[in-house]
Structure 1
Amino acid sequence: MPPFITVALCTHNHVDRIKRTLADLAQLQPPVKPWEFLVIDNGCADGTSELLAEMAWRPAGVAVRVVREENLGLSNARNRALQEAHGEYLLFMDDDETPDPAWLVVYEQAMLEHQPDALGGRIEVLFEDGERPDWLQDELLGFLGKLDHGEARWLTERTTPIFGGNFAFRLSVFDRIGNFDARLGRQGSANNGGEDTEIYRRLLEHGCRVRWVPGAIIQHRIQTPKLRRDYFLDLHFRQGRMEGARKRGNLSRVPPRYLVPQILRAYGQAIALRLKKGSAHSLRQEMNAAYFTGYVVGWMKDPI
């Protein structure tokens, strides 16, 4: 019998993280219908491939496949999952996450009851090996993947996206909306993003039915010693750079004048807040300044 759900995990050189993720699969409550577990080895060279070749981690009674994708990039790995999946629904998770035991069961119930085109679930942030830094304000947790849209409902607005660490699609929907944009998303150590919110916008533009499933909970494990302010700044610089190049299109590479006051305002607010309240309170404004800096650089230098 073909699986109803394909759970796909895409990984690149995170052997230290994926060990726990694979071990945590044993706690999952089995859904009613068959499911399969698909791992996309995205050019791993750190021992991940050898770990995946072992048998001990594989959940009992579940079809498991490991496929290697040499084209580096999270979107490339997800697109490979689209080709390889056998399920009616394709559910994505990341290699540094621990699903709630009822995760699969809750998703299956929502799929059977509502028959949506796509679904998203709640993501919590777990600081697994240290204390949360003082400068990491609540408003920044969304950039670490935290997501909560409240009660179960249909999502119809761009302001309520679903995130790649915990979203699912009816596999046939990609025939309508197209695959993941390979220009977006992490590529090796490059701190890119935006592929999940971009495909959510496409879902809405094509009139797809997107269901919010708050009971399908994932814990995104954060390795606290690796948290750095420059991670957030680099993320926004890169995002601005991509959007600046796209906005420019075929126009002149000379940035428009309206960007000048926006940049000055962003830097002014960041400096003022840092002087007034200290660095523990100014990072969000500094991220805005990094975004506008990247926007200008992308406008002037980058191809579309």
Structure 2
Amino acid sequence: MTDLRQVSVIIPTYNRASYLQICLNALAALRTDPAIFEIVIVDNNSTDNTQSLVLAFAQAHPDLGVHYLLETNQGLSYARNRAVREANGEFLCFLDDDAPPSPEWLNIILKGFCDPSVGCIGGPALLDYQGQERPPWLKGDLQGLLSGYELPYNKPAVISKVAEFPFGCNMAFRKKVFSEVGLFRTNLDRCGDQVLAAGDTEMIGRVHKAGWKVLYLPQAQVRHLVAPERLKKEYIYRIGKGLATTHILLTADPRPHMILRWFASDLWYTSQMLWGFLIALILRKPLWFDDYMRLWMVASRIPFRFKMLFRGMSTPSQRQSKVVIGE
């Protein structure tokens, strides 16, 4: 894949052709000179019409420099890593296939990278329910489980708190940071229908730890389209379970005293959240389901901690090799 464009817009995708079409149409409408960016679609074993859709789009928009890659190793992190290796741009801008950007999105991100100390940039991901009625129980922090992201800053802000790090549906990096910190951890984030998470957060944490600034740009917006099946409690439970498993992976430490520490921490937080949930339930607070999900996500980690503490449990490797990026 040879192209001399300055920016690579990367979209990993898996069986979501209808949403991908919307995202590609938004990229075609960007108010950015098409000569400076390429579009890299990484198909992670889709069985729908993703390939034919991308090829048709590329034929209809030859000026956009569309590249189609098939990544056969299943998993979002594998798809992202494939793009990091093969993309040509100095800047790598990641979108989800259901996150169409605003017309000025790329221009705003490129202005942010004018500061040479900035290694990562993110912007809001505004939930778009596509005319669907939001369930009355879907309030508060639960909307974050749908990957809605917006910080309370109305101007560019350098961020350092993990809780404020950008989401993977709208994040950008200097390509050279991957040579310093390595690739995305392949035991994190979605893999087919498995809903693990935090590959984006863990990567941005490494970039920040390496001394690069993480910049939030409130005008670099994408819409995050909410599919109908994601407005059901069954999906929220799946996400909650995935986040619990993700937390186990992120805090995995074979040393007995560290396992005991996390086990005790989860027990303590569960007891505190249980009281909060019971009070919310008794008082019939409108956010009681939000409190319940908080409780459930922490409590569901306890069986894993128990097995690690008393029986021993192997967890996927946390090591991540460095990658040599071509010039």
Normalized per residue, which structure has more strand? 1
AA of the residue aligned to 1:287: M
- In structure 2, distance between residues paired with 1:45 and 1:288: 35
Whole-angstrom CA distance in 2 between matches of 1:111 and 1:170 = 8
Q: Which stretch shows the higher mean deviation, 49-58 or 9-18?
A: 49-58
Going from structure 1 to structure 2, the CA distance change for 1:115 and 1:202 (only over 3 Å counts) comes to closer
Structure 2 partner of 1:232: 236
Task: Give TM-score scaled by structure 1 length.
Answer: 0.90
Partner of 1:59: 61
Q: Which amino acid in the other structure matches residue 46 of structure 1? A: D
Larger mean CA deviation between 6-15 and 143-152 belongs to 143-152
For 2:249 and 2:107, locate their aligned partners in 1 and report how far apart those are by CA, in whole Å.
Answer: 42
Partner of 1:303: 314
- Quick one: distance in 2 between partners of 1:76 and 1:185? 10
8 Å Cα contact 2:196/2:245 also seen in 1: no
Residue aligned with 2:162, SS? coil
How many residues align structurally?
303
CA distance in 2, matches of 1:291, 1:105: 39
Cα shift at 1:54: 2.0
Match in the other structure for 1:283? 289
Aligned partners of 2:28 and 2:64 also within 8 Å: no
Q: What letter matches 1:97 in structure 2?
A: A
Secondary structure of 1:210 counterpart: strand
Deviations 1:25-69 (A, max 9, x none): 222112486110000001111222232232467535111100000
Is 1:193 aligned with 2:197?
yes
- How many angstroms apart in 1 are the aligned matches of 2:34 and 2:111? 9
> SS of the counterpart of 1:219?
strand
1:172 is aligned to 176
Partners of 1:117 and 1:193 lie apart in 2 by 22
Structure 2: stretches of 5+ with no match in the other structure:
316-327
Q: Secondary structure at the match of 2:113?
A: helix
Aligned to 1:293: 299
Contact conserved, 2:8 with 2:91, CA < 8 A, in 1? yes
Alignment of 1:18-29 (within 5 A): 18-29=20-31
Comparing 2-11 and 264-273, the one that deviates more: 264-273
Please tell me whether residue 274 in structure 1 is matched to residue 276 in structure 2.
no
Aligned CA RMSD, in angstroms, stands at 2.4
| 8 Å contact kept, 1:119–1:169 | yes
2:167 partner SS: coil
Work out whether residues 237 and 292 of structure 1, in 8 Å CA contact, stay in contact via their aligned partners in 2: no
1:93 equivalenced with 2:95 (yes/no): yes
Asked if the contact 1:31/1:108 (under 8 Å) is kept, the reply is no
**Structure 1 residue aligned with 2:82:** 80
Distance 2:178 2:272 in 1: 41
TM-score for the superposition, normalised by structure 2: 0.84
**Does 1:126 find its partner at 2:128?**
yes
CA distance, structure 2, for counterparts of residue 106 and residue 274 of structure 1: 45
Residues 273, 92 of structure 1: CA spacing in aligned structure 2 closer, same or farther, 3 A cutoff? Answer: same
Deviations 1:72-126 (A, max 9, x none): 1111110011011100000000111121111111112222355621111122111
Question: 1:220 aligned to 219, 224, 237, which one?
Answer: 224
Q: 1:10 aligns with which of 9, 12, 36?
A: 12
Secondary structure in structure 2 of the residue aligned to 1:169: strand
- Aligned position for 1:203: 207
Aligned partners of 1:64, 1:18: CA distance in 2, in Å?
13
DSSP-derived class of the 2:89 partner = coil
- Paired position in structure 1 for 2:166: 162
1:20–1:268 Cα change, 3 Å = same
1:244/1:297 contact within 8 Å kept: no
Shift of 1:175: 0.9
56 and 174 in structure 1: CA distance in 2 versus 1, 3 angstrom threshold: closer
Q: Which residue of 1 aligns with 2:248?
A: 244
Contact 1:31 1:105 in 2 (8 A): no
**Change over 3 Å in CA distance of 1:172–1:114 after alignment to 2:** closer
| The one of 44, 53, 59 aligned to 1:42 | 44
Q: Distance in 1 between matches of 2:264 and 2:130?
A: 46
Q: Which moves more between the two structures, 204-213 or 240-249?
A: 240-249
Cα-to-partner distance string for 1:112-161 (whole Å, 9 max, x where unaligned): 35562111112211111411111111433222222223120222333320
